[in-house]
Amino acid sequence: MTDMTDWQAKTVIPTLNVLDIASALDFYTRLGFKEDWKYPNEKSVTEVGLCLGDISVMLSFSESNNIQKQNVYVIIENVESYHEYLKNSLVQVSELVSSDYGMKDFSVTDPWGNLFTFGEEYKG
């Protein structure tokens, strides 16, 4: 039997379904994400990889209006500064709140209903 200490997960990449890759790229660029790769080519892109610091997400084109929505929680440094940046970038964000579970966080919903919450541990 394999010892579970022989292998470790390294990262997770959420896949978010969107109806329009170009609009999704515009939205996520305003969040500060940078394009990492496109598939299959420039003319008929169906998937795009994006990065924000050390995290990655994948956007996947869907022709169906019945898109499964995802919730993604991102630990981020300097959450107050990031929150202010997004507000100044005309991205609709929730209020930044300090929670009873030890995080200061806020949320953003993309045009397809995917929810991103960005948080940072705080000592209240």
CATH number of 13-62+70-121: 3.10.180.10
pTM: 0.87
Gap between the terminal Cα atoms of the chain = 46
Contact 64, 45 (CB under 8 A): no
Q: Give residue limits of the domains in the chain.
A: 13-62+70-121
Distance CA 116, CA 50 (A): 14
72-115 confidence digits (pLDDT tens): 999 999 999 999 999 998 889 999 999 999 999 999 999 999 99
Tens digit of each residue's pLDDT (9 = 90 or more) over 23-73: 999 999 999 999 999 998 767 889 999 999 999 999 999 888 778 899 999
Burial 56-79 (b: 16+ CB within 10 A, else e): bbbbeebeeeeeeebeeebebeeb
